[in-house]
A and B are shown apart, each in its own frame.
Chain A
Amino acid sequence: MNAPVKKKLKVATTSLAGCFGCHMSFLDIDERLFTLLEHIEFDRSPLTDIKEVHPECDIGIIEGGLCNAENVHVLRDFRKNCKILIAIGACAINGGLPAQRNHLPLSAILEEVYHTSPGLSNGLIPNDPELPLPLNQVHPLHEVVKIDYFIPGCPPSGDAIWKVLTDLLAGREPELGHGLMHYD
């Protein structure tokens, strides 16, 4: 009798208030991507251009924190549809660079960016209803939904990402030893 075909795990990824650096770092696992593809298939991700997360997605990997209402919506959608959620990178884990605005009032930032800074001749603050509203402060993901695993780093190295993913695929608790664990 033939061995049962092992079902590939569905993996969705997205970047919220991030710079795509973590996704670039993910690609740094290089040819190991082929090994990975023996075990997983990509669902919604910038790598596939699928727009909706499959309702039975196995793993969601999210880069970037929450800077506007749409980010929160996407995060909740990932949480609803993924069995395991992984926060990747400083922004997803502690707000990162975008959160450096958190001690400034949002109105003051918008004023300065669109209105008062030199070179803008009386620019207006965009208010198209299509644009998601910015949050008062930038928040990391775990402050809004439960996050199962974290891969710290700005960005984490390809090796760190590989380590966490292979630990998970092997059913181990992910661990980053010295050298792979870094916050910068």
Chain B
Amino acid sequence: MSHTFTLDGKTIPFEDGQTIIQAASKAGVFIPHLCYHPEFKPHGSCKLCTVKVNGRQTASCTMRASAGMVVENNTEELNAERRALTQMLFVEGNHFCPSCETSGNCQLQATAYHLGMMSPHYDHFFPSRPVDASHPEVLLDFNRCILCSLCVRASRDVDGKNVFALSGRGIKTHLIVNARSGNLADTNFTLKDKAAQVCPVGVILVKRNGFAVPIGERRYDNVPIGDSLETATEGR
């Protein structure tokens, strides 16, 4: 059998070992995602990339493509579930976009626009999450963390530093900094780290650099997410 599967009826070629999302983005088809990043091992946690393979739901960032699969992606049903997941991410944290430096460049926000999220629907948690401003170059605003673990993977697998980790379980899961004090200033984290560049939302922020790009010229102001598949340059 040939090395192809169908995605919403379109024939997609793949190479051995490729996941569905990898093959799809190579073929120019967008599958919404938040914890997937082409440069890192998949984490499979946000479930935004959920597709139906032969009628059953699965995460397309962890599922390997195989010949003859029938995959559904851009359907009412899947997008409604993705929208619900996105709404939960908004209410679990504190996402006040008008005061967020990442607004306009944010993958969560752009994904919510893409999915037509008109409201957060659920009750807000309004959690209390103090920021970490200890580091001279970088501010951590945990209010916006969506626990995608990209900074964890980047620091561990690329920088070899293990600066970040996810701690706790279930709804109590949160991002921590590996230092006895818990402060970023007490780690060997620097601006040059890969981990400083991968956050898809507005948590890991470079100090003295905010709101540098005017409204109208930010990343997703003119081109919605998914319209240009710059997968190799993801992150900010």
Query: Footprint of B on A, CB under 8 Å?
Result: 87, 90, 93-97, 99-100, 102-103, 137, 139-140, 142-143, 147, 149-152, 154, 174-176, 178, 181-184
Residues of B within 8 A of A94 (CB): 90, 95-96, 120, 124
Residues of B within 8 A of A154 (CB): 97-98
In the assembled complex, the Cα of A56 lies from the Cα of B96 at a distance in Å of 35
Give the number of residue pairs across the A-B interface with Cβ within 8 Å.
68
B118 at the interface (CB under 8 A from A): yes
Q: Could you tell me the dominant secondary structure of chain B's interface residues? A: loop
- Contact between B109 and A103, CB atoms less than 8 A apart: no
| Closest CB in chain A relative to B216 CB, distance in Å | 10
Given contacts A95-B124, A96-B98, A102-B126, contact A181 B116 (CB under 8 A): yes
Residues of B within 8 A of A102 (CB): 126
| Closest CB in chain B relative to A85 CB, distance in Å | 12
Question: CB within 8 A of A184: which of B103, B119, B120, B129?
Answer: B103
In the assembled complex, the Cα of A158 lies from the Cα of B111 at a distance in Å of 23
B123 at the interface (CB under 8 A from A): yes
Given contacts A87-B119, A103-B126, A147-B119, contact A178 B98 (CB under 8 A): no
Residues of A within 8 A of B113 (CB): 178, 181-182
Question: CB within 8 A of A103: which of B90, B121, B128, B215?
Answer: B128
Residues of A within 8 A of B17 (CB): none
In the assembled complex, the Cα of A145 lies from the Cα of B94 at a distance in Å of 22
Residues of A within 8 A of B38 (CB): none
- Contact between B124 and A139, CB atoms less than 8 A apart: yes
Query: Which bracket fits the contact residues of B?
Result: 20 to 34
Query: Footprint of A on B, CB under 8 Å?
Result: 90, 94-100, 103-104, 109, 112-113, 116, 118-121, 123-124, 126-129, 215, 224
In the assembled complex, the Cα of A48 lies from the Cα of B136 at a distance in Å of 53
| Closest CB in chain B relative to A115 CB, distance in Å | 23
Q: Which residue of B lies closest to A143 (CB)?
A: B123
Q: Which residue of A lies closest to B119 (CB)?
A: A150
Question: CB within 8 A of B119: which of A95, A96, A137, A142?
Answer: A142
A-B contact pairs, 25 of them (CB 8 A): A95-B124, A96-B98, A97-B98, A97-B99, A99-B126, A103-B94, A103-B126, A103-B129, A137-B126, A139-B124, A142-B119, A151-B118, A154-B97, A181-B116, A181-B118, A182-B113, A183-B95, A183-B97, A183-B98, A183-B112, A184-B97, A184-B98, A184-B103, A184-B104, A184-B215
